[in-house]
Amino acid sequence: MKRLLLIVLLLSATTFSAVADKGMWLPSLISSRIKDMKSKGFKLSAEDIYSINKASLKDAVVLFDGGCTGEIVSEKGLLLTNHHCGYDAIQALSTVEHDYLTYGFWAKSHAEELPCPGLKVHILVRMEEVTERLAAGESKEQIIAKAEAEGVGFRASVESMYYGNIAYLFIYREFSDVRLVGTPPSAIGKFGADNDNWIWPRHTGDFSVFRIYANEQNEPAEYSASNKPYKPARHFKVSTKGVKEGDFTMIYGFPGNTQEYITSDAVRYISELSDPTKIALRTERLDIIGRAQATSAKIRLQYAAKHANIANAWKKWQGEVKGINRLGTVAKKLAYEERFRRENPDKAYLLDSLAAAYERNAEGYFNYELYSETIRGIELQRVVNIAFSSASEEAKMAAAELFYKDFVLEVDRQLAVAMLTQYEAKGTFISEELKALFAAHGGAKGYAEWLYDNTKLGSMEGFTVEAAKCDPMTEFVMALQPIMQRIKPYTYRNFSNIPDIERWFRPYVKALMEWDKSRAFFPDANLTLRVAYGKVAGYEYADGEYHLPQTTLEGIMEKDNPEIYDYNIPQSLRDVYATKDYGRWGVTMNGKYTVPVCFIATNHTTGGNSGSPVINGNGELIGINFDRTWLSTMSDIEFDETLCRNIICDIRYVLFVMDKVGGAGWLIDEMGI
């Protein structure tokens, strides 16, 4: 079977070459795409991208903090990623006296670099197909254990591709001594914040700088003052030559989740039920949090990260629904499925089985999603988990302290009232215990009010393990347990990954690959290392409205407004603008002497690609990926080359900010620029 699938892959690669920029390719199989890449301007070889025999670009790409990407840019383990990827680490290091989040931070030497406890990066050692080893009876756990025994700090995982048709082993080195080297102030790194999020034109300097440390032998090690900067097998060279429309671009990173092969039923579930429900629920939560934030600067800060997190997917889903409707994805999938039935009558039952499986699992999956978006948004239940965890008394108190630091009881009460009311109205998996609590207080709303009136756990002063034992919040958490048991069989990343559905996807996707030779089958994203390539390109945003692919400092100055928090740039940036002292980073664009800020390209990306290196045809770093445009957000389900654009922070803006705002010229020297 393995050989057959590989032949199918290769066939589709050759017949399809020079067509679409769509796809997220496995680096170890990139030789099947290299001809197409070369025809579009790539000058390196497949071996330069991925090799297990010599240093290759893959040695310079890292999985950052388990959900983002980063790239190594010097021989001393200097690492670039997004500001929003480093955000948690930067926030954890920030205090009122040293507010790095607000004012930025730049180490002046290695000694000033700040350790980030808990922050890890992973570098891929190699990947290999293990479909046959699994078929021969070896278990995943055995394969992983063998791989991890191969080297110091090795971490392995076995991931399935094409709904379980193929399995791959990924072996990483895990580094846990990672230090903060620098970050711009939020006014640059988060410029435009939620307003500009998912939007082009964009002017965000979404980058931060870290460094990987290793032991004397250059191996992964826990933090130690005696650790040395990690010497990577390969690092990215930076190009300051800039980009222009049509230039080749390649992204190397860890895309998290796409669903390109799902059937019309699953798309309808997303665009007609799941997304609209989740959007409405988040609108309520964001309104509550936003109103509270408007009343006090303290609450604005306490809920800043929470608000940004909730708003990010909320905004994305809105674009996704619009995009799916605009493209007519459901109708297209239906037509494709009809054709499949006609041309494969002996396999048409697979589609029937899939439809039946979706139907069987729809209620369960909806209840799982509903639970996640309502009940899990009620924060105070967490202190019950802290109280009854197996941690030491001291650790529990510390965890509670951390929790209450960014918690406002009145905000959570309002969230609980709203979310329990919604859950009561829409949920069908409500436990008898929770129903009884609702009934005893005249319904979910009355219960929520009563709960917050009577809990003693609303603040650090009231929090003790003893108090938690007989608190109504604990009774609430207990009443949730049967619900969690019931949704457990549906607790998967996507509807289609529920095993009862996925088992039909396996033969269906295999049949598609054998049948549809005109289609380039890349495995859906699953947070494993991928290559996507395309070109710098503007796009038609609306009738008669073309969006250029590059923004500049002029746009930042147009948006600058000291009255609006998200658009209030640092004075130092205003000063540089006033003198036009741009040094080596100044360029003349559209008749103006200015600094490039962001650009867009046609690379197929998704969440997880944040922080990914964007390279030119020579393999040099030209930017850091950080977002997609509003018209692209459906690309996790259907990628449309004419519309979909990823958003990249131009490396020249990164260097300009380091130099002119951060005064961190030593890092620019270290990168050899």
Known catalytic residues?
A: 84, 206, 610
Contact 549, 245 (CB under 8 A): yes
Instruction: Say how far residue 665 (Cα) sits from the centre of its chain.
Output: 30
HSE on the CB side for 293, CA within 13 Å? 17
- Contact pick of 427, 607, 613, 619 for ligand GLU (by CB under 6 A): 607
Residue 423 binds: one of ligand ARG, ligand GLU, none (C-beta under 5 to 8 A by kind):
none
Q: Near ligand ARG by CB under 6 A, which window of 135-143, 171-179, 194-202, 453-461?
A: 194-202
Q: Is 605 in the site for ligand GLU (CB under 6 A)?
A: yes
Least spacing, CB of residue 311 vs ligand ARG, in Å:
6
Q: Is 193 in the site for ligand ARG (CB under 6 A)?
A: yes
Tell me the C-alpha distance between 523 and 162, whole Å.
5
Least spacing, CB of residue 604 vs ligand ARG, in Å:
15
Backbone angles phi, psi at 535, to 5 degrees: -150, 160
Q: Near ligand GLU by CB under 6 A, which window of 38-46, 476-484, 560-568, 620-628?
A: 620-628
Least spacing, CB of residue 566 vs ligand ARG, in Å:
9
Q: Is 323 in the site for ligand ARG (CB under 6 A)?
A: no
Residue 160 binds: one of ligand ARG, ligand GLU, none (C-beta under 5 to 8 A by kind):
none
SS3 content of the chain, % helix, strand, coil (to 5): 50, 15, 35
Residue 33's identity, in one-letter code, is: R
- Contact pick of 239, 318, 610, 616 for ligand ARG (by CB under 6 A): 610
Q: Is 308 in the site for ligand ARG (CB under 6 A)?
A: yes
**Dihedral over alpha carbons 183, 185, 188, 192 (to 10 degrees):** 120
| Site for ligand GLU, residues 628 to 667, rule: CB under 6 A | 628
Q: Is 607 in the site for ligand ARG (CB under 6 A)?
A: yes
Residue 605 binds: one of ligand GLU, ligand ARG, none (C-beta under 5 to 8 A by kind):
ligand GLU
Least spacing, CB of residue 555 vs ligand ARG, in Å:
17
Cβ-proximal residue to ligand GLU, closest one: 610
Residue entry with tokens 């741009």: 582
- Contact pick of 32, 160, 277, 610 for ligand GLU (by CB under 6 A): 610
Tell me the C-alpha distance between 633 and 203, whole Å.
19
Output b/e per residue, 144-166; b: 16+ Cβ within 10 A.
beebbeeeebbbbbbbbbbbbbb
Which two structure tokens, joined as six digits, stand for 348?
A: 């048409």
Q: Is 189 in the site for ligand GLU (CB under 6 A)?
A: no
Q: Is 609 in the site for ligand ARG (CB under 6 A)?
A: no
Q: Which is nearer to ligand GLU, 198 or 476 (CB)?
A: 198
Tell me the C-alpha distance between 30 and 672, whole Å.
29
Residue 373 binds: one of ligand GLU, ligand ARG, none (C-beta under 5 to 8 A by kind):
none
Cβ-count burial of 393 within 10 angstroms (0-12 exposed, 13-18 middle, 19+ buried)?
Answer: exposed
Residue 197 binds: one of ligand ARG, ligand GLU, none (C-beta under 5 to 8 A by kind):
ligand ARG
| Site for ligand GLU, residues 35 to 74, rule: CB under 6 A | 68
Q: Is 626 in the site for ligand GLU (CB under 6 A)?
A: yes
| Site for ligand ARG, residues 623 to 642, rule: CB under 6 A | 627
Q: What is the DSSP string of 384-447?
A: HHHHTSSS-HHHHHHHHHHHHHT--HHHHHHHHHHHHHHHHHH-S---HHHHHHHHHTTSHHHH
HSE on the CB side for 39, CA within 13 Å? 10
Q: Any residues with CB less than 8 A from the CB of 523 and at least 6 apart, and which?
A: 24, 26, 161, 162, 166
- Contact pick of 184, 192, 458, 608 for ligand GLU (by CB under 6 A): 608
Q: Is 320 in the site for ligand ARG (CB under 6 A)?
A: no
Instruction: Say how far residue 371 (Cα) sits from the centre of its chain.
Output: 22
Least spacing, CB of residue 383 vs ligand GLU, in Å:
29
Q: Is 627 in the site for ligand GLU (CB under 6 A)?
A: yes
> Site residues (CB under 6 A) for ligand GLU?
68, 605-610, 626-628
> Site residues (CB under 6 A) for ligand ARG?
84, 193-194, 197-198, 308, 311-312, 607, 610, 627
